[in-house]
Amino acid sequence: MSADTPDTKSLKIKIFADGADKAGIAEIGKNPLVKGFTTNPTLMRKVGITDYEAFAKEVLGIIGGRPISYEVFADDFSEMERQAQKIAAWGDNVYVKIPVTNTKGESAVPTVKKLAAAGVKLNVTALMTLQQVKEVAEALKDGPPSNISVFAGRIADTGRDPLPIMKEAIEIMKIAPKSELIWASPRELLNIFHAESIGCHIITVTNDVLAKLALVGKDLGEYSLDTVKMFERDGKASGFTL
């Protein structure tokens, strides 16, 4: 393997699986590279989850004590706080996801600060600006271990390079040494190495991207040949004639 060939053995970043399919969580959890898990109401709805608490507790029995983030689904801050306290009680490895604002654009920072002061482990989510990172890091700095999720993939979707933003976020977060930066919403497996290159602590990755981990470092000549074989095989299977 050449010096410029990527490999997973040297990765320092923690890979968290992002999903809500119990069978998928159990299967991907067998991979020793997966150090934790995240989910959210959107992912739960996609797979038809109707009993939030039952689902959450079943998953806790699957993941073997690794950290997992469950999100509140209230829009009112007092209700967010109540839900957060209930979710946090499900386990010491549970982090509670709090959106950086409610749907009115009102900041959740006061709620974040209050929950952190009460000892709730938080994953503040849906951040996209450095100002948001500054405000959230300040709110978390005296609290327990926490995560700050910056949606680098969605930043990239707007045509902006997320790398400089994520690098600056790491610097800002030094005021909150028990907080870890999450590179959220990656769009491709290469984003794991992007995040690793700047010292990001965690990246959340969906199962379809995690499935590509076996390709890391694959010889490109072999991969080219595999691709040609795929085209030939599918052409035959389609029964095309000219």
pLDDT value for 92: 97
pLDDT value for 1: 46
Asked if residue 35 is part of any domain, the answer here is: yes
Instruction: For residues 95 and 69, give the distance between their C-alpha atoms in angstroms, rounded to a whole number.
Output: 5
| DSSP H helices in 141-189 | 152-157, 162-172
User: Which range of residues forms the domain containing residue 141?
Assistant: 14-215
Asked if residue 84 is part of any domain, the answer here is: yes
Asked if residue 9 is part of any domain, the answer here is: no
Give the alpha-carbon dihedral of 4, 153, 141, 112, to 10 degrees: -160
Would you put residue 186 in left (φ > 0), alpha (ψ -120 to 50) or beta?
beta
pLDDT value for 3: 52
Asked if residue 178 is part of any domain, the answer here is: yes
How does pLDDT run across 121-170, given as a tens digit for each residue? 999 999 999 999 999 999 999 999 999 999 999 999 999 999 999 999 99
Give the alpha-carbon dihedral of 105, 70, 35, 121, to 10 degrees: 80
Asked if residue 69 is part of any domain, the answer here is: yes
Domain count along the chain? 1
Instruction: For residues 1 and 6, give the distance between their C-alpha atoms in angstroms, rounded to a whole number.
Output: 9
Determine how many CB atoms are found less than 10 A away from the CB of residue 193: 14
Asked if residue 235 is part of any domain, the answer here is: no
Instruction: For residues 190 and 173, give the distance between their C-alpha atoms in angstroms, rounded to a whole number.
Output: 24
CATH number at residue 174: 3.20.20.70
Catalytic residues: 97
Asked if residue 3 is part of any domain, the answer here is: no
Which residues of the chain fall short of a pLDDT of 50? 1
pLDDT value for 9: 85
Asked if residue 226 is part of any domain, the answer here is: no
